[in-house]
Structure 1
Amino acid sequence: MKFAWRVAIGITCLLPISQAVQADNFDALRSRADKHAPASLMGDHLHDPGEWMVEYKYMNMYMEDNRAGSRTLSDAESIAFGASSNPVTNRAATPTQMTHEMHMLHIMRGVTDDITVYTMLMLPSITMDHQRRMDGSSFTTHNSGFGDTTFGALLRLYSDVNDDLILNVAASVPTGDIFRTSTIPSRGATDQALPYPMRLGSGTFNAKPGITWKHYRDTGSFGLQFQTNLPVGRNYRDYAVSDEFRLNTWYSHLLSDNFSTSVRLENLWRTNYDGADPAANDMMISTNVEGFRGGYSLNLGIGFSALIKKHLLNVEFVPTLYQDLDGIQLETDWQVAASWSRSF
């Protein structure tokens, strides 16, 4: 009888210790250099109650040459293709390359163990080069300013020592300007509306639900994320931007607790625009054609993270592996993302 009581007392004393060990392991696995997803992604982690995180993120997307389906076109081929496309387009010019830069301020705060809220402020800067059809001369247009603002909450659906399942409930509000004009394309003769890819926002409230699963191991972590961007209705210019669906999977490998590398594969689907801006003359240039905005892309991400005294530095280079685009569109060659974040 005395032996039985000693065993029972021993087991009772061990239970809090086991729970404490599990808690220590839980926190340790989420306090390494791979605690965040690769730099191009967001909405993958939570914070403790009362904890804040501030992040600055820079992203750059570079596009050169046009593509019809999966075939790359030269500038001359793009103009010729537009003459027989449906609708006919590129009668005035063809785009030749574009740089889309984005500066983002990301603020997060833990509300409970299972709820973190966040907001993202965006500052896009877009430059597009063109070639005129009539004389082959070139011109450049530029647009920058505030983009759309996102608000969201991350909800932990399931968690154990090695796994997190997180629901992202988010929406963007139309704070980005969607109608600016320029006289550059017409050599100063008339004002023309900037084409769709050069506009700073969507003009609509967008639902942005997503879900992320992360699995932590001693040597690194796996992740799987499905994220969407779905405009609600049409904007005041009578169009809605693409529905967007992203499926990402990645593996982050620890070099040490403070340094990690990552590899990521992204599937991206976009629909064509719904509706049409009356000022978007689709005959003049292909970037004004609402039916030439959809398609599929497969992207590869190669990243590196460093955790230095609670400062997380995260960078990723993203070449495009494959694209199949509707109509004529500028093809994406590569993207880069870099961020700094600090929790306190």
Structure 2
Amino acid sequence: MKRLNVAFFMLLAAANVSTAHDDYRSRADKHAPAGLMGDHLHAPGEWMVEYKYMNMYMDGNRAGTQRLSDSEAIDFGATSNPVTNRMASPNNMTHEMHMVHIMRGMTEDITLYAMVMLPSITMDHTRGPMNAGGGGPGSLFTTHNSGFGDTTIGALIGLYTDSNDDVILNLGGSLPTGDIFRTTSIPSGGTMEQPLPYPMRLGSGTFNARPGITWKHYFDVGSFGTQFQTDLPIGRNYRDYSVSDEFRLNNWYSQLLTNNLSTSIRVENLWRTNYDGADPMTPDAMISTNVESFRGGYTLNLGLGAAALLHGHLLNVEFVPMLYQDLNGIQLETDWSIVTSWSKSF
């Protein structure tokens, strides 16, 4: 009887979690967690279409590792170098992103991809001590911007593969299709037009190189991976600045519950440099989101995700709370983001 029970449970496990190497890349964990891209290849002639949605929420300001209240952010700006937040101070921001992603396998080792992005950005502010517009100092206002963002294109190249491992080089880049100069009169109460600050602009304004590399290892009940990804602006844009150099190091583990359902945990290290150059129409003292030397820093994020494979449709979701931030100058802190996606290969 004991041998029969053991045999039964072995058969049950085999039905739920495949041990066959050929099935490793057709399970719910075949893609990285929802917050990542550039981690898998497609067979020659195979297409993949994906819709991805991201919502990032930023609430309150931070100077280095110190969290500041809205009033403290204005006071801090009076003594910062450079002086800032004299006209307004940001309170919170919601950054939504709709993404349409298309991939096609060209050879066994080369997959091409393109992604169109549509950001929608809303930021709440408090008017500063030198702002007589609207309701005067201490009054609140909201600005919004949306439209087409930068377009990402690239090639994924398989450097090594065996029964359990994939090493993939990402030779990607972005095209400056996002608008980087729109104005608003809301901060001044309708008396003066001024450019939207840097975090509210829809693109970088430059061609960006985005090289990266991913290693994934599959085993019977799950997989793990590591990815290093960069985003490097080439030169300055027509407003005479370039956005941050960005470096991301991600490590994740995915656990199969069944072949069609998995959970994941991810740790992300994110480094950003300050901006180079300056838009001549964004004076530092106006608001901290205009200060080029207040754009860099380090962020540590945690990703908690799940994926379901249903009749060839892959549904992927990930919640990403911020664990730690050390920011240059004074900036809005990132509290959390959520990423969801649907994809289908054919």
Same fold (TM > 0.5): yes
Instruction: Specify the SS of the correspondent of 1:88.
Output: coil
Distance of 2:21 and 2:263 partners within structure 1: 21
Residue 62 (str. 1) matches residue 57 (str. 2): yes
Superposition pairs of residues 167-316 of structure 1, within 5 angstroms: 167-316=169-318
Residue 41 (str. 1) matches residue 42 (str. 2): no
Distance of 2:169 and 2:79 partners within structure 1: 46
Q: CA deviation at 1:32?
A: 0.1
Distance of 1:84 and 1:26 partners within structure 2: 61
Aligned match of 2:151 = 149
For residue 106 of structure 2, the aligned residue among 99, 103, 111 is 111
User: What number of residue pairs does the alignment pair up?
Assistant: 321
For residue 27 of structure 1, the aligned residue among 22, 25, 43 is 22
Instruction: Read off the aligned partner of 1:116 and give its amino acid letter.
Output: T
Aligned match of 1:94 = 89
Distance of 1:232 and 1:25 partners within structure 2: 45
Instruction: Specify the SS of the correspondent of 1:112.
Output: coil
Q: CA deviation at 1:25?
A: 3.9
Aligned match of 1:325 = 327
Aligned match of 1:6 = none
Q: Compute the RMSD of aligned alpha carbons.
A: 0.8
Aligned match of 2:161 = 159
CA contact (8 A) 1:25 1:161 kept: no
Distance of 2:211 and 2:297 partners within structure 1: 21
Unaligned runs of 5+ in 1: 1-23
Q: CA deviation at 1:301?
A: 0.1
Instruction: Specify the SS of the correspondent of 1:30.
Output: helix
**For structure 1, which segment, 176-185 or 25-34, has the greater mean C-alpha deviation from structure 2 after superposition?**
25-34
Q: CA deviation at 1:204?
A: 0.1
Question: Could you state the TM-score of these two structures normalised by the residue count of structure 1?
Answer: 0.93
Q: CA deviation at 1:133?
A: 1.9
Distance of 1:223 and 1:300 partners within structure 2: 15
Instruction: Read off the aligned partner of 1:261 and give its amino acid letter.
Output: T
Distance of 2:161 and 2:81 partners within structure 1: 51
Q: CA deviation at 1:93?
A: 1.0
For residue 131 of structure 1, the aligned residue among 126, 141, 145 is 126
Instruction: Read off the aligned partner of 2:284 and give its amino acid letter.
Output: D
Distance of 1:225 and 1:341 partners within structure 2: 21
Unaligned runs of 5+ in 2: 1-18, 130-136
Aligned match of 2:8 = none
Percentage identity across paired residues of the two chains: 75
Q: CA deviation at 1:281?
A: 1.4
Distance of 2:86 and 2:47 partners within structure 1: 52
Instruction: Specify the SS of the correspondent of 1:28.
Output: helix
Instruction: Read off the aligned partner of 1:312 and give its amino acid letter.
Output: L
Question: Could you state the TM-score of these two structures normalised by the residue count of structure 2?
Answer: 0.92
Aligned match of 1:341 = 343
Q: CA deviation at 1:27?
A: 3.1
Q: CA deviation at 1:26?
A: 4.0
Residues 1-50 of structure 1, C-alpha deviations (whole Å, 9 max, x = no match): xxxxxxxxxxxxxxxxxxxxxxx944310000000000000000000000
Larger radius of gyration: 1
Distance of 2:128 and 2:294 partners within structure 1: 19
Aligned match of 1:7 = none
Residues 133-183 of structure 1, C-alpha deviations (whole Å, 9 max, x = no match): 232110000000000001100000000000000000001010000000000
Instruction: Specify the SS of the correspondent of 1:129.
Output: strand
Residues 238-257 of structure 1, C-alpha deviations (whole Å, 9 max, x = no match): 00000000000000000000
Distance of 1:261 and 1:128 partners within structure 2: 33
For residue 71 of structure 2, the aligned residue among 59, 65, 76 is 76
CA contact (8 A) 1:195 1:288 kept: yes
